[in-house]
Structure 1
Amino acid sequence: MGSKRQDGASGFTLLEVMIALSILALVLTAVLRLHGQSLSLLERSSNEILAPSLAGEALSQVIRELPEPRSLRGSFESFPGFTWEAEVSRVEGLAGEGENSRLFRVHVRLLKNGVKHFSLETFHGGLP
């Protein structure tokens, strides 16, 4: 590269510049693609870490409302786009019968933009 011309001026030929720009374009394309993939992976992994915590927060809120079996809904002020739905039902035959039963099945679904993202189910209660 940098060969001398007949008139004594030194520099790069057009072919050398085009090859260098092609190599630069390939490298930049690969770097930008990796950067986009890493951002996508970062968002997905942060959502996977956040989901159990938010579902646990919703579960705590639902458990404070026991002993009324029902369906509940809510959202998170700090995390727009995330909402939750919960269903509470009595478990018959294990810890008492009928209205005296104090064992509840609590199922919490975490939704992100209206699509199910995470689910958590537990039993809560005590002896009568």
Structure 2
Amino acid sequence: MTIASETSCQPGNDGGCRGQRGFTLIEVIVAMTIIATVMVALFRMQSGTINLAGADDFQTTARYLAAKALAQIELSIDDPELKGEFDQAFKGYAWQCEVTDVNANFSDIMPNLADKVGTLKKIDLTITREHGDRSYHVETFRYAPAS
């Protein structure tokens, strides 16, 4: 007694075998297009997240470095243009500052300073990174009493 297995194919209307299961080429192409579109959207979202994280990291670091630079600027506030770099821990970050005198009459605001001589200084400080893709700007004022 022999058992023979035979697959029967009954022709369908489209020329293929009826009863066979599978995907047509069009269905595969449509599925691949949908998958590709979803992948592109995911990669863009991931790229945007990485850019935002980099911007946030720069802003946080630049705020700290600006406070550090302002402390150094106040020591030599009479120098009209200052610039420098930060220590090894913040390699690639640099700062540039412009100090200008502001004409101000203090007698109206603070009468006790009317007889003292001093100037109001405007400090424009910019923190940049070596790559040059981001910068952080601070504008502040300081009173510099006469020496």
TM-score range, shorter chain: 0.5 to 0.7
Q: Which moved more, 1:39-48 or 1:115-124?
A: 115-124
Quote the residue 2:35 is aligned against.
24
2:44 maps to which of 33, 51, 67: 33
In structure 2, C-alpha distance between the alignment counterparts of 1:16 and 1:115, rounded to whole Å: 47
C-alpha deviation, 1:57, in angstroms = 0.8
Q: How does 1:1-128 map to 2 (within 5 A)?
A: 6=17, 9-63=20-74, 65-66=75-76, 69-70=78-79, 71-76=81-86, 77-88=88-99, 94=106, 95=113, 96-97=116-117, 101=118, 105=121, 107-112=123-128, 113=132, 117-124=136-143
Q: Number of residue pairs matched?
A: 119
In structure 2, C-alpha distance between the alignment counterparts of 1:114 and 1:18, rounded to whole Å: 41
Larger Rg: 2
In structure 2, C-alpha distance between the alignment counterparts of 1:60 and 1:52, rounded to whole Å: 13
Structure 2's unaligned 5+ residue stretches are 1-15, 107-112
TM-score by length of 1: 0.67
Q: Which moved more, 1:54-63 or 1:110-119?
A: 110-119
Structure 1's unaligned 5+ residue stretches are none
User: What letter corresponds to residue 110 of structure 1 in structure 2?
Assistant: T
CA, structure 1 residues 81+24, in 2 after alignment: closer, same or farther (shift >3 Å)?
A: same
- Secondary structure of 1:78's match? helix
Q: Are the counterparts in 2 of residues 88 and 104 from structure 1 also a CA contact under 8 Å?
A: no
C-alpha deviation, 1:88, in angstroms = 4.6
User: What letter corresponds to residue 118 of structure 1 in structure 2?
Assistant: H
Q: Which moved more, 1:112-121 or 1:36-45?
A: 112-121
Q: Percent identity among equivalent residues?
A: 25
C-alpha deviation, 1:126, in angstroms = 6.4
1:13-44, Cα deviation, whole Å (9 max, x unpaired): 22221111111011101111111122222222
In structure 2, C-alpha distance between the alignment counterparts of 1:114 and 1:73, rounded to whole Å: 19
Q: Which moved more, 1:87-96 or 1:37-46?
A: 87-96
Q: Are the counterparts in 2 of residues 85 and 110 from structure 1 also a CA contact under 8 Å?
A: yes
- Secondary structure of 2:39's match? helix
